[in-house]
């Protein structure tokens, strides 16, 4: 299979690091013009310079998409968006009964409402042009809610509903809307999270194994997923090859979710 995204413009939120960065590079390798997004112009430009390679085309689209005015700035810089990847998200562990109202709202605003805001802005144009791809990066925590991450799990469960609902709105238009359920993934932020839950004195490889054994024992992969493995699925779903996949929650979870269906 050949994934060809030439002539398409993609916006990947939160793409200066981790999964978003891997997605941006992979879409660019497939021929898309990719808008790199982060809160600061400096970090966005640094990322573009680091990812630069022959054939890759990137656009600087700095701005805070969790704010209406920030989303407008990002969309203006991106131009006409054909592929929207709502990757931006926050996560962390907290004792369930100590999560206050403000924290619940913060997780919803960042992980859910920011995605909804960008879908509202880009979906009409995609429908009018008869082609588009929207993907919301969800998590295994949307289905298997960790006790220490209830607020995060809630926000990712909401993304599954958001994806399904907007897929119905886009029915018959040539636009697909899907969720990608990412399993425990190896990023810098996750390394910090792992060390919050296991002995900080352990070398990384031992800490990762201990984390998976103690906190994610149902993983069939028995290791953290690499960001590129998530990006491969995203690139496929963004392509014409995935034209019959919409309204779906597609798992790249290493078999973590113990169910036949999401």
In this predicted structure, the answer to whether residue 262 has a pLDDT above a threshold of 80 is no
- Per-residue pLDDT, 78: 98
List 152, 195, 236, 256, catalytic entry: 152
Condensed to tens digits (0 to 9), the pLDDT of residues 4-45 reads 999 999 999 999 999 999 999 999 999 999 999 999 999 999
Which residues, 6 or more positions from 101, have their beta carbon under 8 angstroms from its beta carbon?
none
The CATH number, out of the four listed (3.40.50.720, 3.40.630.30, 3.40.50.2300, 3.10.450.50), of the domain defined by the range 9-185+226-249:
3.40.50.720
Residue pair 59/45 in contact (Cβ under 8 Å)? The answer is no
In this predicted structure, the answer to whether residue 112 has a pLDDT above a threshold of 80 is yes
pLDDT tier for residue 152 given thresholds of 50, 70 and 90: very high
Residue pair 97/148 in contact (Cβ under 8 Å)? The answer is no
In this predicted structure, the answer to whether residue 261 has a pLDDT above a threshold of 90 is no
Extract the tokens encoding 33: 């013009």
User: In whole angstroms, what is the distance from residue 101 CA to residue 173 CA?
Assistant: 39
- Per-residue pLDDT, 189: 80
Side-chain-facing half-sphere of 170: CA atoms under 13 Å: 31
256 is catalytic: no
- Per-residue pLDDT, 187: 87
Extract the tokens encoding 39: 């809160």
- Per-residue pLDDT, 58: 98
- Per-residue pLDDT, 216: 86
Condensed to tens digits (0 to 9), the pLDDT of residues 177-223 reads 999 999 999 988 888 889 999 999 999 999 999 999 998 899 999 88
- Per-residue pLDDT, 69: 98
Mean pLDDT, all residues of the chain:
96
In this predicted structure, the answer to whether residue 102 has a pLDDT above a threshold of 90 is yes
Where do you find CATH 3.40.50.720 in the chain? 9-185+226-249
């Amino acid at each position: 299979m050949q994934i060809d995204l030439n002539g398409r413009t993609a916006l990947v939120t939160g793409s200066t690091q981790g999964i978003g960065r891997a997605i941006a590079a992979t879409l660019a390798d497939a021929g898309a013009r990719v808008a790199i997004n982060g809160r600061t112009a400096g970090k966005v430009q640094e990322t573009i310079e680091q990812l630069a390679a022959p054939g890759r085309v990137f656009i600087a689209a700095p701005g805070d998409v969790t704010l209406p005015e920030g989303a407008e700035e990002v969309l203006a810089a991106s131009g006409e968006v054909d592929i929207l990847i709502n990757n931006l998200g926050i996560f962390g562990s907290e004792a369930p009964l100590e999560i206050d109202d403000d924290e619940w709202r913060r997780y919803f605003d960042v992980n859910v409402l920011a995605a909804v805001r960008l879908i509202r802005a880009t979906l009409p144009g995609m429908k009018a042009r008869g082609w588009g791809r929207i993907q919301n990066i969800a998590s295994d925590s949307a289905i298997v809610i960790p006790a220490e991450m209830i607020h995060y799990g809630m926000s990712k469960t909401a993304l599954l509903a958001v994806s399904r609902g907007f897929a119905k709105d886009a029915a018959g238009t040539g636009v697909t809307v899907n969720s990608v359920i990412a399993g425990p993934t190896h990023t810098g932020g996750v390394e910090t999270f792992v060390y919050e839950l296991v002995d900080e004195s352990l070398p990384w490889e031992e800490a990762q194994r201990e984390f998976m054994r103690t906190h994610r024992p149902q993983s069939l992969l028995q290791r953290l997923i690499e960001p590129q493995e998530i990006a491969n699925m995203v690139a496929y779903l963004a392509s014409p090859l995935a034209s019959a996949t919409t309204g779906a929650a597609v798992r790249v979870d290493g078999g973590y979710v113990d169910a036949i269906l999401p």
